[in-house]
Amino acid sequence: MRDVAIIGSAQTKFGKLGKSNTELFCDASLAAMEDANVSQKDIEALFVGNVLGGFEEGQINIGGHLVGALHLGNIPATRFEGACCSGTVAFRDAFMWVASGFYDIVLVGGMERAMIMGTPFSTRTFAMANDCKYEGTTGITFPGVFAMVARRYSKIYDIPLDKLREKMAHVSMKNHKHGALNPHAQFYQKMGNLKVEDVLNSTVVCDPLTLMDCCPFSDGGAAVVLASADIARRYTDEPIYVLGVGQGSLGHMGAQADITKPASRVFSARSAFKQAGLGPKDVDVVEIHDCFTSAEIVASEAMGFFDWGKGADAVESGQTDIGGRPVINSSGGLMGKGHPIGATGVAQVHAIVEQLKGKAPNGNQVNPVPEIGMTDTLGGGFNTIAHTILGRSRR
Ligand SMILES: CC(C)(COP(=O)(O)OP(=O)(O)OC[C@H]1O[C@@H](n2cnc3c(N)ncnc32)[C@H](O)[C@@H]1OP(=O)(O)O)[C@@H](O)C(=O)NCCC(=O)NCCS
């Protein structure tokens, strides 16, 4: 297998954008191709993560339309769907095609325009990622899943729910602080100075989660250009290497021993670490799937950064903020930056690339410039989870 490098990356602003999925993908892709110093003729295949285009704008079979809109000739294009993990699933596949030697340069991205659907329809369609027989029939939605995660965490670690809510509030405060500094974030220059009480006292969404415990619905796109590491320096002086990738699957939540310790995440993160020849202690910066405050905490434990039951203390003590290690969600994460589900995984990769190049937004850059970064993306109720590990040096 060959080494693979990211030679260019970009994202659109996230938020309510009023652009079509094709426009969002093209905006991000053209910026990533410019960053990579490649032109249309260099791209050999296109990989795209998109979840709900059929519901959002009546558009499926979108891969070929993206090739047409980007004037990429007649190259193959494939859409990947793994709920909120779609972008990382597409990235992992694109990586494997280049690593195998089949292609030298490919484009991978993702996009979503959830805001056109409004909250009720978005909530309904997002919930289709749950098992339709065992979970859909109960009416459960994603705020419901992560409210249950918070309650179970409180019970098994004997942390009173009020105390846990205060610890969870620090996830929101940290990620909104970073998002407020990120010009591409949905909540740029907003909510950058939240207090614990602001999170606790905002509108209840699904007890014990309030509005400030939740990520928003978002529109947005993100893209990266991958190349064989052997040719990467023809295009850029700053290739970022893909050191490891992982992906795990689960099934419905009822089949899971403990939803605070999803086996799919443990499996996926360990696969990525094994491929990279690294462990949690080697990672400087992480973009974690913080769709809800409780989600970031349990993810940081399942990836091996903290012992079971200790992730909530770590965020409360500031260990995962800039200045601590590993720094989690320096881009603002899903909560501050936004969560256009098909784009999210690729935008996480872009955020790590920016960190490893020393080009993260002012105030969010970790210093000294980090060597190793990681992404964690979750699709559905732990049903599809994927990871990437990126580095400034080759394996
Ligand atoms: C939290 C949630 C219920 C809020 O929906 P809503 O009450 O309909 O909110 P609206 O879209 O009407 O927005 C109302 C205001 O709250 C703000 N807002 C919306 N979601 C927000 C969030 N998550 N955090 C902070 N502010 C938010 C909006 O910007 C808007 O502010 P404005 O009045 O200043 O313009 C909804 O965003 C949600 O369900 N999020 C979770 C999405 C999800 O499950 N994703 C998949 C995870 S795996």
Tell me whether residue 72 is in a domain.
Answer: yes
- How many angstroms does the Cα of residue 114 sit away from the middle of ligand 1? 12
Name the packing angle between helices 21-36 and 341-356 (round to 10°): 20
Provide CB contacts within 8 A for 194, sequence distance 6+. Answer: 169, 172, 173, 176, 177, 212
Burial 40-56 (b: 16+ CB within 10 A, else e): eebbbbbbbbbbbbebb
Q: What is the pLDDT of residues 295-331, one digit of tens each?
A: 999 999 999 999 999 999 999 999 999 999 999 999 9
pLDDT tens-digit profile of 104-125? 999 999 999 999 999 999 999 9
Instruction: Please list, residue by residue across 153-163, b when 16 or more beta carbons sit within 10 angstroms of its beta carbon and e when fewer do.
Output: bbeeeebeeee
Partners of 193 in the β-ladder: none
Q: How far apart are CA 305 and CA 325, in angstroms?
A: 9
Provide the whole-model pTM: 0.98
Q: Which of 84, 85, 206, 214 is catalytic?
A: 84
Q: Select from 168, 171, 214 the residue to mutate for testing ligand 1; criterion: most ligand atoms less than 8 Å from CB.
A: 214
- Please indicate, yes or no, if residue 26 is contained in any of the structural domains: yes
Q: Which domain holds residue 111?
A: 4-118+217-234
Pairing of the two strands 285-287 and 327-328: parallel
Of 315, 338, 326, the C-alpha closest to 196 is 315
For ligand 1, the distance from its centroid to the CA atom of residue 216, given in whole angstroms, is 4
**Cα–ligand 1 centroid distance for 35 (angstroms):** 32
> Could you tell me if residue 230 is inside a domain?
yes
Residue 107 lies in a domain: yes
Q: Considering the domain boundaries, does residue 259 fall inside one?
A: no
Looking at the domain assignment, is residue 37 inside a domain? yes
On average, the pLDDT of the chain sits at 97
Helix (DSSP H) and strand (DSSP E) numbers for the chain: 14, 12
At residue 249 the predicted structure's pLDDT band, cuts being 50, 70 and 90, is: very high
50-80: per-residue pLDDT in tens?
A: 999 999 999 999 999 999 999 999 999 999 9
Q: Which of 176, 339, 350, 387 is catalytic?
A: 339
CA-nearest residue for atom 38, ligand 1, is 216
Decide: 339 and 110 in contact? Cβ < 8 Å: no
- Going from the Cα of 309 to the center of ligand 1, the distance in angstroms, rounded, reads 28
CA–CA–CA angle 22, 143, 158 (5° rounding): 140
Q: Examine residue 311 and state whether it is found in any structural domain, yes or no.
A: no
Q: Which band of pLDDT confidence, cut at 50, 70 and 90, is reported for residue 160?
A: very high
Of all protein residues, the one whose alpha carbon is nearest to atom 36 of ligand 1 is 216
Is 339 one of the annotated active-site residues of the chain?
yes
CATH code for the domain of 226: 3.40.47.10
pLDDT digits (tens, 9 = 90+) for 344-376: 999 999 999 999 999 999 999 999 999 999 999
Q: How large is the angle between the packed helices 142-156 and 293-302, nearest 10 degrees? A: 60
Give the per-residue pLDDT at 125. 96
Asked if residue 70 belongs to a domain, the reply is: yes
Q: What is the mean pLDDT of residues 226-252?
A: 97
Whether residue 178 lies in the annotated active site? no
> What total number of domains does the chain contain?
1
Q: Report which ligand 1 atom has the smallest distance to the Cα of 203.
A: 7
Residues with CB under 6 A from ligand 1: 84, 119, 123, 126, 142-143, 205, 211-212, 214-217, 291, 339
Element at 152 (helix H, strand E): helix 142-156
